[in-house]
Amino acid sequence: MKDVTENVLIRTEKLTKRYGSLLVLDEIDEVIREGERVAIIGPSGSGKSTFLRCLNCMEDPTSGSIYFGGEDIADMRVDINRHRENIGMVFQSFNLFNNKTVLQNIMLAPVYVGKRNLRRAKVGNFFLPLTNLFRRQKKEPAEITTTKAEIVKAACENAMRLLERIGLSEKANVYPSTLSGGQKQRIAIVRALAMNPKVMLFDEPTSALDPEMVGEVLDLIRQLADEGMTMVIVTHEMGFAREVADRVLFMDGGKIAEQGSPAELFENPQNPRTQQFLKAVL
């Protein structure tokens, strides 16, 4: 294994998840490094989706810690929203906002976050004379370089750039119900990208798609991988996992049963359970 402390993005420590008496994740210690592309494979019910959803606290872990951005995000006191801005997530069932157009879908979060930061800076500056009374080292007012209109404009331009990239710019003003599954999933991916995340989590991104549309979505993910985006992919596409991933985790019974480079894991699996699984799916 490489040096563990180098460029660590997400680290889980004794990550455990229970649903009642059912143990789904069993004390998982795992590290995701910057620029790494990790594929998670395994049989149904092995906890691979739950593990992925725990990484941005969509599911709160029962015990254990998840370190991201220098904080334990499994701690309920941490502002999870601030960290989720840096963790993009793509779902199996796309989950585009049905009441918003494609462009609004992509712009919603960046505009909200931008306006919120602007508002906080303004409120902070307003109360600065008051709060500085209690500070030994006086604080300078935060510099406000942008306006609400500029934030919206920048978000809109960014969204259009992303849409052009996936070749769907003419769909900017239609509602998601008019799109095909592949188009929806590609838009869901760029919606996550619009926040400039440090890591992308893919939860079976192609499982709900027609076989015909799997290719276009995988192509987009492959492009992202080539650009050096850190990503964690739960997938049933063994060929894709083998091609894109730097490291493959095989999960079974809430544990990581085996892991290694795709070549090692697919050509020469050590664990009997892995051998059995790969024999069945390949």
Partner 1 sequence: MIKFLKKHWMDILVIICVVALLAVLCMSVYTRFRFEKKWNIFWDYFVENNGYRKVLTGLQNTVYIAVLGLAIGLVIGTLIAVVKVLPGYKKLVRYAQTVCNIYVAFFRGTPIVVQLLLGYYILLPLLGVQLSQVNSCVLIFGLNSGAYISEIMRGGINSVDPGQLEAARAVGLPFSVSMLKVVVPQAVKNILPTLGNEFITLIKETAVVGYVGAMDITKAFQDQGSNSYEYMIPYLVMALIYIILVAFIAFLVKLMERRLAKSERRN
Pick the closer one to partner 1 by CB: 115 or 236: 115
Pick the closer one to partner 1 by CB: 89 or 231: 89
Pick the closer one to partner 1 by CB: 82 or 153: 82
Could you give the CA distance from residue 184 to residue 213 in angstroms, rounded to a whole number? 10
Phi, psi at 168, each rounded to 5°: -125, 25
Pick the closer one to partner 1 by CB: 108 or 121: 108
* Shortest Å distance, C-beta 65 to partner 1: 18
Could you give the CA distance from residue 253 to residue 265 in angstroms, rounded to a whole number? 18
By CB under 8 A, name the binding residues for partner 1: 56, 58, 81-82, 84-85, 87-89, 91, 93, 95-100, 108-109, 112-113, 174-175, 177-178, 188, 191-192, 195
* Shortest Å distance, C-beta 32 to partner 1: 17
* Shortest Å distance, C-beta 172 to partner 1: 13
Decide the pairing of beta strands 247-252 and 37-41: parallel
Pick the closer one to partner 1 by CB: 76 or 280: 76
Is the Cα torsion angle 202, 206, 208, 213 positive or negative in sign?
positive
Pick the closer one to partner 1 by CB: 87 or 103: 87
Burial of residue 1 (number of CB atoms within 10 Å: 0-12, 13-18, 19+) = exposed
* Shortest Å distance, C-beta 178 to partner 1: 5
Pick the closer one to partner 1 by CB: 128 or 174: 174
Pick the closer one to partner 1 by CB: 195 or 238: 195
